Every structure is written in C-alpha cells, then in structure tokens.
Amino acid sequence: MQRRIAHLPLHGGRAPAWLFSRMHRLAGSILELCVEEAGAAETLARLADPLWFQALGCVLGFDWHSSGLTTVTCGALGEAYRRLGPALGIHVAGGKGGVSRKTPQQIAEVAERRALAHGARLIYASRLSAKVDSSAVQDGYQIYTHHFFFDDAGEWCVVQQGMNEGSGYARRYHWLGSATTDFVCEPHAAIASPPAQGELLNMVAGEAGASRARSAELARLEPAHFERILAEVASSAARQPDLFLPRHHEVRPLDIDARRLDRIMRTVQEHPPADFEQLLGAPGVGPKTVRSLALIAELVYGAPACRKDLTRRWTPRDPATFSFAHGGKDGHPFPVDRATYDRSIALLEGAVRRARIDPAGRDQALFRLSRWVGSGPRGSSI
C-alpha cells in the first residue's frame, strides 16, 4: 500500500450555470446507476473514498485539483437530490457555510417523511463528526463545508472540508458510518492532503486515549477543585514555562484562557461527561477548550496529547485521469466538451431508465458511453 495525498489549492471563480446545469444531471445519473448496481451502502462507501470522490468531480468537469471540486460536486449531488428526491437512492443534506448548520433539520425532515426510526442517530453522527474535525482535530484547517449522505437503512457518510487561509490549500475529511466504531478514536475513513505547518493536536488518534480520558475526568471535577488546578497551571507557567512544557511541545500555556475555560467548565458541570465523546458534544466546548484540557491533563496526569497526523493510506489511483472524460472548467486538460457531455447525460439518463426494467440495457449503455468518450475529438478515454 502506498500513501496517496490530494493537494487541493484554492481556485477563484464558480462553476458557470451552463456547466452546473449539466453537472447535477450527470451526477444524479451516476449515483442512481451506482445504487442500482451496487446498492446504497456501497455507493456511500464510494463517496467516503477520497479518490473515488475526486474522480467523480473530475468526470463532472470541474477543475481536477481545485478545492472547489468538493463543494461543487457535493452541490451537484444536492441539486440532483432536490430534483429526484428518494429516487436518487440516497439522501443528501448539508452544505457550505451557514447552510451546513441546517443539516440536523434537513435530516430530521427526511426521517419524518420516510418514517425512519434512526433519525436521531443520524443527526448525532452529523453533529459529532463536524465537532471532531473542527475541535478534536486541530491541524490548521478551518471547517467550512459539511455534507451528510445517508440511506433509508441508516448507513451514512460525511464529506467535509477545511481551509487553511495562509497556504490557500484545503483538506477534505471523509467518514463512513459502517466503519466508525468510535467517534473519538480513529474515526475517519480517510483524510485528503497533509496537515498545515505549525501546531498540531489530534485528540482522536489511538495514542491519545489517556489524554481523552483525563480531559473528561478534569471536566467532571467540582468547580472549586478545577479552579485550584487551573491556578497551579497558570502559576507554574508564569514562573518557569520550560519546567512544565518542554519547548518541543506544540501546545503552549498561552492557549489557556482561564476565565473562559472556567465559565465553560461550570456549564459542563450541569451534565458531567462520562467520557471524551460526551465532553466534545457539550455546548460551548470548542477547539480552545479541548486544547486547554489536553495541556492540563498532560501536566497533571502525565497523559501526553497526540501530535500525530491522521492521513490514511489507500490503494493508489489517479483521479486526474477522469478529467479527460469531458474536460475541465478552467480548460485543463482541455475545455469542457459540451457535445460529449450532453451525449453522456443522455446515455446515462437512458441507462437509468432501462436499468430499472432490464439490467442488460444498463450494461449496453455504459459500454456505448465508454466508446463515445474514448473516440471523442480529444482521443482520450476514461
């Protein structure tokens, strides 16, 4: 197994209307065929594969290595869902920026319409996966988009992305429900791109188990006891920082805002967390609180916080190859070939209709599609 890392630089501009109107039609047909052939659970597993997802975005004609591929591809899937509804085979919720905060409401609405018994569990998965990547994983990327995909059986996956404004690069985080046995210990299906330069705190690494346990233990202490510990930490830092925080550690005393931390801990005390997962889900607990507790746990209990990155290894493939299907928005590897794109849409939409009546019709249509793309004016193949 070789490590494959996707660097996702920031590109300006948006997908033009003429392209996006095609993207959501093609994306919808591709997902419908995947569900018909492999099932909804397998389709979600493919979306949770960062390279399959990247290849999908390339086939749709977006810039093959742009950070915008994530949001536009998810946007196209969302628009396909609005157009097709449950016929798409999976449900799509979430979005970019403020829209992402509506994800729980969108999940609840689908669960009510479809009479799903596991709506609350899906909402919990959406909220906690977002909290993990914004607070428990501090790798230099600020989460700004969250998309949640799920089926009627309760399987789900998450695709969310963070941006490092200093470098102009993005990092994509993939989750798969069936592979997530613990939300706060090695929960990701994969991570695309390396961490940003600078401080790194990974509270969901396997090695951070002791730090997670001690952080939750700190949060359960009586306020007066916690205040004494916090005062001792602040006093030690003021006197001799190097004695309690060796210079090779990335977490520093200045990360502790004593007054803010005390206020949050008093709120947490109303419902003391049994473990780190409950602590992370508590209102008001964000990146600074998690970092502060990790530092205090390291000092008081000798439970080191983990600075290990969480990039996964996966089977090597080359998503950029798929940009030769229809071209790319910015003209790489060539401008979007609208005629070929429209033929692809017509073929796949026809294949979806036939697949539900005659599976052989689907296979014939896909074979014809590959021949058309392969014999196009650019002489490229998928």
- The answer as to whether 163 is a domain residue is yes
With residue 28 as reference, give the H or E element that holds it.
Answer: helix 17-38
The answer on 224 and 159 residing in a single domain is no
The answer on 78 and 124 residing in a single domain is yes
pLDDT at 253: 47
The answer on 38 and 180 residing in a single domain is yes
Please list, in sequence order, all residues whose beta carbon lies within 8 angstroms of the beta carbon of residue 123, skipping any fewer than 6 positions away: 104, 107, 108
The answer on 297 and 281 residing in a single domain is yes
- The answer as to whether 47 is a domain residue is yes
pLDDT, one tens digit for every residue, the chain (382 residues): 233 334 465 555 567 888 889 999 999 999 998 998 889 999 999 999 888 888 888 888 876 556 788 899 999 999 999 999 999 999 999 999 999 999 999 999 999 999 999 999 999 999 999 999 999 999 888 999 999 999 999 999 999 998 888 888 888 899 999 999 999 998 887 776 666 666 788 899 888 999 999 999 988 888 888 888 877 766 665 554 443 444 444 445 445 666 777 777 788 877 889 999 999 998 888 888 888 888 888 877 778 888 777 654 334 355 656 666 677 666 666 677 888 888 888 888 887 887 776 666 556 655 655 554 444 444 333 3
| Domain count across the chain | 2
Which of 272, 301, 330 is a domain's end point? 301
- Rounded to an integer, what distance in angstroms lies between the CA atom of residue 201 and that of residue 204? 9
- Rounded to an integer, what distance in angstroms lies between the CA atom of residue 315 and that of residue 210? 32
pLDDT at 274: 92
Provide the pairing of β-strand 142-150 with 156-164: antiparallel
The answer on 228 and 79 residing in a single domain is no
- The answer as to whether 327 is a domain residue is yes
The pTM (predicted TM-score) of the whole model is 0.81
The answer on 245 and 160 residing in a single domain is no
Residue 170 backbone phi and psi in degrees, to 5: -115, 160
Q: CA dist 326 to 17, 223, 235, 332, 336, Å?
A: 16, 61, 63, 10, 5
Please list, in sequence order, all residues whose beta carbon lies within 8 angstroms of the beta carbon of residue 21, skipping any fewer than 6 positions away: none
- Rounded to an integer, what distance in angstroms lies between the CA atom of residue 135 and that of residue 264? 15
- The answer as to whether 2 is a domain residue is no
The answer on 250 and 146 residing in a single domain is no
* CA-based R_g, the chain, Å: 23
- The answer as to whether 253 is a domain residue is yes
Residue 34 backbone phi and psi in degrees, to 5: -60, -45
The neighbour count for residue 370, using CB atoms within 10 Å, is 13
168 sits in the region (left: phi over 0; alpha: psi -120 to 50; else beta) called left
- The answer as to whether 382 is a domain residue is no
The answer on 282 and 133 residing in a single domain is no
Task: Give me the count of residues in the chain.
Answer: 382
Which of 301, 319, 334 is a domain's end point? 301
- The answer as to whether 306 is a domain residue is no
The answer on 266 and 241 residing in a single domain is yes
Which of 263, 280, 301 is a domain's end point? 301
- Domain of residue 152 covers 8-200+311-374
- The answer as to whether 250 is a domain residue is yes
Sequence-ordered strand ranges (E) for 3-136: 8-9, 91-96
| Orientation angle between helical segments 287-301 and 258-268, nearest 10 degrees | 90
The answer on 220 and 184 residing in a single domain is no
- Structure tokens, 327: 């071209």
pLDDT at 314: 39
The answer on 268 and 126 residing in a single domain is no
DSSP conformation class of 162: E
pLDDT at 353: 80
The answer on 273 and 337 residing in a single domain is no
Q: CA dist 133 to 3, 181, 264, 273, 279, Å?
A: 21, 16, 20, 20, 15
pLDDT at 85: 95
pLDDT at 193: 62
pLDDT at 83: 95
pLDDT at 36: 87
